[in-house]
Amino acid sequence: MYRYASSVLFLASVFAFQLSHGTEVTVKDKDNNICLYANLMVNFSVSYDVADNKSASAMFELPADVKTEGSACDNTSSTLKLDFGEGHSWSVNFTINGKKYQADTITFSYNLSDATVFPKSVVNDTETVIVKAPQITDVSVGTCYSCKSKDTIETESVNQTLWNVLIQAFVMNNSTSKNITSCAADVPTTPVPPTTHPTTAPVTNSSTAAPVTNSSTAPPPTPTPTLPTPTTGKYNVKPDENSTACLMANFGLRISVKSVEMNFEPNGTTVSGSCGVNSSQLVLTSNAMTIILTFTNDTKKFRLHALNVTGKTSSGVVFSEVNTNLSLWEAAVGSSYMCNKEQNYTITDQLTLYTFELQVQPFGVKKGLFSTAEDCQADAENFIVPIAVGVALLVLILIVLLAYFIGRKRNMASSYETL
């Protein structure tokens, strides 16, 4: 029996680490019975063409405010289609195989004429990417599929990252199930202890027992090599080739993602971005990763508002981490922010950012030069000790001078009394 989507419920939920909004959707059939339920989070990173044969990157998330007119479900298949923004859509289709169901493909369409998401795009078409759905297989009918872990789907120009996923593609009896089928990434693995083989001491006629060697003793762990201090890169964004910089940033970067530390290498890095009145963006693309830094201002102060880091570790592990609710590197508009001392910032539960010799100015750059810098607290603390020593020396000098004048006054008084 064919069913169609007739109503939708949207609720925003807060994710503890990402501080981002999820999308919750309930699809009902013509009899007003629930036939599909989904609560999930999706981030998109899209590379698109801009002027002068250059490319830019757009980073955005699936919003809570979506439409589901294209969603449908019957006894053997169902489709969740979410339309959002100015002509964008994301959909996934499911099929039943016996007593199990699975997700087959994901289709993502994005409208490059949407200047809010894709500023300065030279293409106005709607592009579509179709990929095989990850992990969502062998889900028992009558249960919800759950996956809190992140899963990134990479194509040539689009990265899609799914996490905090809870889906029941075939809802029975008008009620979502409390039974969960978890993805493999969420299931903890129990390490298998090594098999030990006791060593039997050789038999001798001597009354002295032979030493017993424990052959199961593990070799000492290999120390993790210490990374050198990252090279400081100088990154400028210009409105065009004939203009001076509108955004300037100097820093050395190191990231720790999924317990793997990597230095960001400025040599060979492609720099792009955009400058706006209240929002500016710096995009750094190296061989190993892409980093998107988004700055905002409230006309008085600017700050780093969002950070998106995608790439692969040296062992080939794909990662995609994003936080769109930051408030870092804050300084007055018209000045720059500086922090020479090494700093570390927890961006997500999987990503930590380390900065070295940092100076950044995303707004109000004049003549291609940094404006007066506002120092970070760590740099300011470097001056506390010399200032304290100077104050202590000044107090000591004042005490000595005071003691000298008091002593001299007493000597002069004693001389008068003698006369």
| E-strand stretches of 85-207 | 88-97, 100-111, 126-132, 139-140, 144-147, 151-154, 158-168, 180-182
pLDDT at 25 over 90: yes
What does the alpha-carbon distance between residue 27 and residue 72 come to, in Å, rounded to a whole number?
Answer: 8
233-381: same fold as 3-186? yes
Choose among 13, 42, 8: nearest CA to 25. 8
Q: Using pLDDT thresholds of 50, 70 and 90, give the confidence band for residue 48.
A: very high
Q: Which CATH architecture has domain 233-381?
A: Beta Barrel (2.40)
pLDDT at 87: 95
Helix or strand run (H / E) with residue 236: strand 233-237
CB 231 within 8 A of CB 265: yes
Q: Checking DSSP bridges between strand 270-274 and strand 3-4, what pairing results, if any? A: unpaired
pLDDT at 247: 96
pLDDT at 329: 96
Structure tokens belonging to residue 369 = 């030069």
pLDDT at 260: 92
Taking only the tens place, the pLDDT of each residue in 293-340 is: 999 999 999 999 999 898 888 888 888 888 888 999 999 999 999 999
Helix or strand run (H / E) with residue 388: helix 384-418
CB 264 within 8 A of CB 253: yes
Compute and round to an integer the Cα radius of gyration of the chain.
31
pLDDT at 194: 60
Query: What percent of the chain has pLDDT above 70?
Result: 81
Taking only the tens place, the pLDDT of each residue in 89-121 is: 999 999 998 889 999 889 999 999 999 999 999
pLDDT at 384: 54
User: So where are the chain's domains?
Assistant: 3-186, 233-381
DSSP track, 187-217? SPPPPPPPP--PPPPPP-SSSSPPPPP-TTP
pLDDT at 380 over 60: yes
Q: Using pLDDT thresholds of 50, 70 and 90, give the confidence band for residue 208.
A: very low
pLDDT at 295: 94
Query: What percent of the chain has pLDDT above 90?
Result: 49
Q: Which residues contact 160 (CB under 8 A, 6 or more apart)?
A: 42, 43, 44, 106, 108, 131, 152, 153
Q: Which residues contact 25 (CB under 8 A, 6 or more apart)?
A: 8, 9, 10, 36, 37, 38, 39, 66, 68, 71, 80, 82
Taking only the tens place, the pLDDT of each residue in 227-269 is: 999 999 999 999 888 889 999 999 999 999 988 999 999 999 9
CATH number listed for the domain at residues 3-186: 2.40.160.110
pLDDT at 199 over 60: no
Between these two residues, 21 and 59, which has the higher pLDDT value? 59
pLDDT at 3: 39
Helix, strand, or coil (residue 119): coil
pLDDT at 387: 67
Write down the pTM of the prediction: 0.56
Between these two residues, 405 and 199, which has the higher pLDDT value? 405
pLDDT at 156 over 90: no
pLDDT at 14 over 60: no
In whole angstroms, how far apart are CA 198 and each of 192, 194, 212, 321? Answer: 18, 13, 9, 47
154-159 contact pairs (CB < 8 A, 24+) = 154/318, 155/129, 155/131, 157/46, 157/47, 157/48, 157/127, 157/129, 158/44, 158/45, 158/46, 158/47, 158/108, 158/110, 158/129, 159/44, 159/45, 159/310, 159/320
What does the alpha-carbon distance between residue 273 and residue 294 come to, in Å, rounded to a whole number?
Answer: 9
pLDDT at 216 over 80: no
